Amino acid sequence: MKPTLHEHASACAKVILFGEHAVVHGQPALAAGLPGAVKLHAQPLGDARAPLRISIPAWDLELSLVPGDEHPVARACAEVLAHCDGPLQGWHVTGEATIPARAGLGSSAALTVSLARLALGPDAAITDVVEASMVGERVFHGTPSGIDSEVAARGGVLRFVRGSAPQTVSVPQPVRLVVVPSGVARSTADQVARVHRAIERWPLLARPLVEVLGRTAEQGEHALVAGDTARLGELSDLAHGVLAALGVSCAALDELCHVARAAGASGAKLTGAGGGGCMIAWPHGSDDEALVAAFARRGLVPLRLEVGA
């Protein structure tokens, strides 16, 4: 049968609440999905033999899957489609994205999950979609833990341990969270390599730090389920300090955490690989107005979420 694509597909973006980097080293992490962050549409091209085109204006992304192209996005997309026995020619895939790319919100996993769904169809098993997405994620990030692909495919709030099936966490009362993009670009693979180097150089010091991050994920899950924003904030401040000690924060993220705390957040931390990307802050209770206004005054555009909604 001729390889084909389905008309529409979508995937979630993700916010890692606790446990980033530690999850690479076998510790638990807690993450929440942002539904419909990437939506793809496929239409046949007039020329069935023309290389498949991908256009996502929100990310300034316009590429053709020409064999031998070294562009990482082109390579990742071609490998995902090949894994799914999908077409590499004769289609135009256009996309909408509500999150910035390369900002620690799982844009690459959202892209590869929705591309896998275009090829495999809406009834594909989530495990097959995740496996296909991971083929692309390895092109982007080397040896990813898989948390981004799992959240992109499943959504909701997930507790994730590398190599095990993720567990859905039910949150009885949604909790507000403010996500602030720093505008600083970085590479996840480089950031992951920093933590590997810290562990190699100072194993007796860095390994316990990684374990502490895993414990923040466990304690954070309890606090989230209890709707305890004070504890979520304290745990976030602690996690941010530990991530900074492992070398994955940066001046821009530290500054954003200070702004959040000064504006009344119960606590704040980097999210994702760090070194740029985004910061998250928990407002006290459900009022995020002062927090959002403090960032808006600095020309930043926070995303407002309800974790568990």
Q: Which residues contribute to the site for ligand PMV (CB under 6 A)?
A: 16, 20-21, 23-24, 104, 106, 141, 144-145, 147-148, 188, 192, 272-273, 277
CB of 27 to ligand PMV, least distance (A): 10
CB of 173 to ligand PMV, least distance (A): 26
Cβ closest to ligand PMV, residue 33 vs residue 90: 33
The answer to whether residue 148 is catalytic is yes
Residue nearest to ligand PMV (CB): 272
Residue with tokens 């549409």: 41
Specify burial of residue 275 (Cβ count, 10 A radius: 0-12, 13-18, 19+): buried
Specify burial of residue 229 (Cβ count, 10 A radius: 0-12, 13-18, 19+): buried
Torsion of CA 233, 234, 239, 242, to 10 degrees: 140
Cβ closest to ligand PMV, residue 116 vs residue 161: 161
- CA gap 172, 95 in Å, rounded: 33
- CA gap 110, 133 in Å, rounded: 9
Cβ closest to ligand PMV, residue 114 vs residue 266: 114
Q: Is 93 left (phi over 0), alpha (psi -120 to 50) or beta?
A: beta
Cβ closest to ligand PMV, residue 106 vs residue 308: 106
CB of 307 to ligand PMV, least distance (A): 16
CB of 187 to ligand PMV, least distance (A): 9
Q: What are φ and ψ of residue 98, in 5° steps?
A: -100, 5
Cβ closest to ligand PMV, residue 267 vs residue 275: 275
Cβ closest to ligand PMV, residue 52 vs residue 177: 177
CB of 291 to ligand PMV, least distance (A): 22
**Catalytic residue (one of 148, 190, 228, 237):** 148
Which amino acid, residue 17?
L
CB 9 within 8 A of CB 114: yes
Helix 251-262 × helix 289-296 angle, to 10°: 140
The Cα angle at residue 32 between residues 212 and 36, in degrees rounded to 5:
155
How far from 101 is each of 90, 115, 184, CA to CA, in Å? 26, 16, 11
127: Cβ contacts below 8 Å, ≥ 6 apart = none
- CA gap 61, 240 in Å, rounded: 32
CB of 24 to ligand PMV, least distance (A): 5
Active site amino acids: 148
